[in-house]
Structure 1
Amino acid sequence: MESRVVAAVARTGGLTTTADLVRAGIEPRFIARLVRTGRLVAVRRGVYTTDELWTAWDEHRARPMARVRAAELCIAVAHVSSHDSAALAHELPLLRPQESAVHISRLDMRGTRVQNGVEHHGARFAPDEVTVVDGLRVLDIPRTVADLAREHGYLAGLVAADGAMQRGVSRAQLQEAAARMEGWPFSRTVKQVLDNADPGAESVGETLARDLADESGLGPIETQFPVRTPRGVAWVDLRIGRHLVEFDGRVKYRSVEEGGLRDGDLERMLWDERRRQDEICRGGFGMTRLVYADFWGDRRDDARIRLVREQAASTARYGTELSPEMQEFADRVRGRRHRVVG
């Protein structure tokens, strides 16, 4: 890549425009050739990055965020980033971040329209709902959670609300933002989301697992339950009576070099996971393990049936109530954890 192009991209934090490149002395015909040969990647019309940077950016966060920032370079009207774009800036979880559109909210229009690949929302927002993240003016987290629920529905809203509460946003703060939207389209969906949000969900998969269990009619559902094992405390994603549910995300088994969390031999890790499950269940629990594919299409029905069947088997074997020792241990460990976190 020519040094002038690399320098122009570096000066602007990874994105550059046609005008920036021309000012750097690069002819439009040469810019077109770089794009045609794949040396420059058009993030949107007239905004580029290098192929090296684009390849390095992951498709779930960095690339969608680059599209937001690219649009920001081209939008002339007064606005704030909102919805999916605000969620990306705040690093809130999204169901399908790689598919997220660029969203802005404006005070000078009504309704919603798509313009040059950007969704423009005419909506009221107060000055105290606007914040700045890495130089980008965005709506704050409580407002963004409500916008996502209204725009994309219950499940997308639940994922975002769980993520917000996991980061320390209170239910009261979320409810305050929702109250400002009383009577707006789909405001009831927001209320339902906030009624069911749980800060114990530490990932999108854990939220989806809880939603599946809830849809199956199982309950009450407890998140982040501690179990005593020979190797110490094991924190389990969900507890339903004497049945436990664990979500296995692909990132856990992908190597660090591939962007995952596994640092070592895969076979050894799988063996350790099996041993961990045996140690957890030895104390008087059954367990269901779920993966991301279990939450969609025909596999969702199969997973729901399996979960109900396996939970019923655990109930038949162990009952539903925790022993006094189990409950005392859980209360004591939770209290210690909360003191450390707080």
Structure 2
Amino acid sequence: MTNLPPTLAALRTRQCGLFTRRQAVDAGCTEREVKTRTGARGDWATVRRGVYTLRTTWDHGTPRTRYVMRVHAAVLAARTPVLPSHASAAALLGMPLRPRWTELVHVTRPGVGGGRVEGGVSHHVAAYDERDVTLVGDVPVLGLARTAADIGRELSLEDAVIAADAALRLGSTREELWAATERMWSWAGITTVRAALEIADGGAENPGESLLRLAALEADIGPVETQFHLTDGHRNAYTDLRAGRLLMEFDGEVKYLGRDAGGVADRPAHEVVIEEKKREDWCRSQDGGYGMFRAVWSEVLGRRRSDTARRVRAAYVQAERLYGG
């Protein structure tokens, strides 16, 4: 029962591997067959009521790809035209996702104010125009600048900085970000977005780097540079951040995990640690010497970031004393 009618197979190709009950029936499946195939032992998985994919596709999906399927399913099931927005647009646009962003699917339809949450979908009613819309494949979604602003308005400064950094890294311009914000000049939460845009930097390669930079800025140690280049004429390296004589690195665990565990390491963890220590020693020795500060996820989130900011400032003062301004 794994074969699909040709018409349905073509729909899956266009619709992120999804198809609706109506499309299945129109393609020649009986209601009984749909019920059987979506049952506990069937080969179709229900993504949301009336929207399906092959069970193997769902079972082998990552948390992100499953969330993307949930987004497409919500659009397919909507009774009126809607656009993926907020974190759901971010997922389709390739922006990084924090776990709490994906608790709901977000869609927006044009209108003024209001909204509701129903069946795991947050329905937003808000104005937008053609400047806010882009295509991902053949699916219209709210674009990078508008999405960064929406996330910032709905959530916290942390989220706003992560989203703005990602929008810049993926190709949005500062002008586009500010223009999207100005179109929302009186909307709730827009002050948070403006604060994030003042410090946004597309050099941050992941949310951890964005949050470590936020801690460094909160430490009030002067300009913070992203992707600082070091070279001795033969070897090159980039550190996540630099302020004065202090280098800063964010340590996400993906650096040390193998690919089979969702990381990026292509060798045992102890070898990665040794190589990282050698790299740090080399970076610290360049240009007359630098201090080094490292942080992990738990140190850059929420209230812990204030403690990290104090430690960053202390490390900065010590580096300046040891190696000069």
TM-score class, shorter: 0.7 to 0.9
Instruction: Tell me the TM-score normalised to structure 1 length.
Output: 0.84
Q: What is the aligned partner in structure 2 of residue 207 from structure 1? A: 210
**Between the two proteins, what is the percent identity of the paired residues?**
36
Q: Which amino acid aligns with 2:308?
A: A
Q: Could you report, residue by residue, the CA deviation over 1:72-98 in whole angstroms, capped at 9, with x for unpaired residues?
A: 111121322211121111112233376
Q: Distance in 1 between matches of 2:141 and 2:33?
A: 36
Q: What is the aligned partner in structure 1 of residue 84 from structure 2? A: 81
Q: Which amino acid aligns with 2:142?
A: L
Q: Distance in 2 between matches of 1:77 and 1:50?
A: 26
Change (3 A) 1:114 1:303: same
Q: Could you report, residue by residue, the CA deviation over 1:266-321 in whole angstroms, capped at 9, with x for unpaired residues?
A: 322221111000111123111111122222367545534443333332222123x2
Instruction: Tell me the TM-score normalised to structure 2 length.
Output: 0.88
Q: Distance in 2 between matches of 1:292 and 1:67?
A: 27
Q: What is the aligned partner in structure 1 of residue 99 from structure 2? A: 96
Which aligned pairs between 1:1-342 and structure 2 lie closer than 5 A? 2-4=2-4, 8=8, 11-13=11-13, 14-23=17-26, 24-28=28-32, 31=35, 34-37=38-41, 39-59=43-63, 61-96=64-99, 99-108=102-111, 110-229=113-232, 232-283=235-286, 284-296=289-301, 299-300=304-305, 302-319=307-324, 321=325
Kept after mapping to 2: 8 A contact 1:81/1:139? yes
Which consecutive residues of structure 1, in runs of 5 or more, have no partner in the other structure? 322-342
Q: Distance in 2 between matches of 1:191 and 1:27?
A: 52
Q: Distance in 2 between matches of 1:141 and 1:135?
A: 16
Q: Distance in 2 between matches of 1:304 and 1:292?
A: 14
Number of aligned pairs?
Answer: 319
Q: Cα distance, 1:40 vs. partner?
A: 3.3
Match of 2:279, SS?
Answer: helix
Kept after mapping to 1: 8 A contact 2:209/2:240? yes
Change (3 A) 1:240 1:286: same
Q: Distance in 2 between matches of 1:161 and 1:185?
A: 18
Root-mean-square deviation (CA, aligned residues, Å) is 2.6
Which consecutive residues of structure 2, in runs of 5 or more, have no partner in the other structure? none
Change (3 A) 1:196 1:299: closer
Kept after mapping to 2: 8 A contact 1:64/1:100? no
